[in-house]
Chains A and B, each alone.
Chain A
């Protein structure tokens, strides 16, 4: 059943339809909040607020917009409000999002072959590099990459111009590329 059909059913009080929709979107949206810089606790809170809005019926999906675009737009708005109210210190440590055997720290990861160790280091480096981006840039990147929104859709959901969206994505990638390039150049002695 597609999202639009589910929404119609929810409008008619269909409990099951709501649960299906919630299952479909809870994980990507949760990770959208986390990667955009919200803490685990705040991401949970934002996710709950989002679904409260949904079940409260205060949604209206335009015929020409997909539900996915719509729900990420609501998520982006919640995130923006959250960013206004939060201090940066509250934002999640991105290292915890790339837990490579770091869960709890009780168990040391098995030694990896060189190549694998390097790949793992690169992934960690990438997660750290992401963290250096301003949170709104990360949000835009997530809207593009995770939500798979077009520039126009991102512009509509954020209030940015299409040109600004394009520019933010370029600058974000340029910076990530620079940071990873330095890492590779620095670590190439092996």
Chain B
């Protein structure tokens, strides 16, 4: 194992995902390697900075417009009764609710990101619509809307 492998373990340990033997190997290495110790300290500092990021409050009343479960059911039945136009609106709403809109275009990312992404060495098959797919599929060949 080289130092980069140990640094990967530092990150893994930080997430509580390192095995007992991995933790032990890492502990021994850190005792003798000042650079990896510095990296470990740096990640701890980063975690602190991340916790310190400001949290924004969503706009007041943002979710008030969403009908609760009961009103929601009532709305649906009213739409049902009041005819085609309203039914169409309900269809649109249901479409939104089920996330069933068509994803159009695929333009997430600059060429720098794509270089970074293509550098990743675990290319594999990811479910359609997954973050994995978004990560692994550069925008080439896709048109923006």
Interface residues of A (CB under 8 A from B): 10-15, 17-19, 22, 26-28, 30-31, 34-35, 40, 43-44, 47-49, 51-53, 55-58, 76-81, 83-88, 97-99, 122-123, 126-127, 134-136, 139-141, 144-145, 150-151, 157-161, 163-164, 166-170, 173-174, 176-177, 180-181
Contact = CB atoms under 8 A, between A and B. Distances in A.
Interface of B: 7-8, 11-12, 15-17, 39, 42-43, 45-47, 49-50, 52-59, 62-63, 65-73, 93-94, 96-99, 101, 103-110, 113, 116-117, 120, 122, 124, 126-127, 129-135, 144-145
Given A126-B46, A177-B39, A97 B69 contact: no
B109 A135 contact: yes
22 contacts: A11-B69, A18-B68, A27-B58, A30-B56, A51-B66, A52-B66, A55-B69, A80-B134, A84-B106, A85-B145, A88-B107, A88-B110, A134-B109, A135-B108, A136-B108, A159-B126, A160-B131, A161-B124, A164-B132, A164-B135, A168-B135, A174-B11
B53 A98 contact: yes
A49 B99 contact: yes
B113 A44 contact: no
State the main secondary structure of chain B at its contact with A: loop
Contacts of B52: 123
B46 A53 contact: no
